[in-house]
Amino acid sequence: MLEDKQRWNEKYRTMPMPSGVAAVVARFAPLAVTGRGLDIACGTGRHTHYLADLGFEMDAVDYSDYALAQLRDDAKIRRIEADLDSYDLEPGRYDLIVNCNYLDRRMYASIEAALKAEGILIFETFLDAAGEAGYHQPSSPDFVLRSGELPEVFGALEPLHYDEREEVNLRGEKVRVATFVGRKRPL
């Protein structure tokens, strides 16, 4: 929605956002064939840039034109300004898909289908703090994972890693996070 896009543009102008590469991306991206990668809701491109440096041809999708403008000009990076609510992924296109700090359950099936055989999915985002006091989390349940959700929905992938943990965000607030890594089984 246009309104949400403007809200994200404003957040990027006014709030600190993570700029380092998530540990899980650094650890598991090298397991993928260095072919085509997708960064879902790429933001200002912390993972897009890192993966392009590793040699991946990156599709970087986000609807914030402000965030996309921060991506460097690079033949290995394709900026795609699109609303993921209605963006269709091409089946069998990617060796690696990264989805960090973003949740759109509508995309679960198409993410799995968009992986090539033996392609790797790295998925990390906020986990429901289940009403526990002292935790910050996105206001809508649509944007927070349930405990155990990712291994369940991506059960057809070979699981390589799963954890649920507590972290402190850049504003010093406690958050819960879940991380799943899986590999699509060979045909």
Q: Which residues contact 56 (CB under 8 A, 6 or more apart)?
A: 29, 32, 34, 35, 36, 37, 76, 95, 96
Shortest distance (Å) from residue 34 CB to ligand SAM: 20
Q: Which of 28, 50, 56, 63 binds ligand SAM (CB under 6 A)?
A: 63
Q: Which of 49, 50, 52, 64 binds ligand SAM (CB under 6 A)?
A: 64
Residue 100 or 115 with smaller CB distance to ligand SAM = 100
DSSP state of 20: S
Q: Return the SS3 of 11.
A: helix
**Could you give the CA distance from residue 45 to residue 129 in angstroms, rounded to a whole number?**
27
Which amino acid is it at 151?
Answer: P
119 binds ligand SAM (CB under 6 A): no
Q: Which of 25, 89, 100, 157 binds ligand SAM (CB under 6 A)?
A: 100
84 binds ligand SAM (CB under 6 A): yes
- Distance from the first to the final alpha carbon of the chain: 37
135 binds ligand SAM (CB under 6 A): no
Q: Which of 6, 55, 72, 85 binds ligand SAM (CB under 6 A)?
A: 85
Task: Read off φ and ψ for residue 130, nearest 5 degrees.
Answer: 50, 40
**DSSP E strand boundaries for 35-114:** 36-40, 57-62, 77-81, 94-100
Q: Which range of residues in 40-48, 51-59, 71-79, 105-113 is near ligand SAM by CB under 6 A?
A: 40-48
Q: Return the SS3 of 156.
A: coil
83 binds ligand SAM (CB under 6 A): yes
Binding region for ligand SAM (CB under 6 A): 4, 8, 18, 41-43, 46, 62-64, 67, 83-85, 100-102
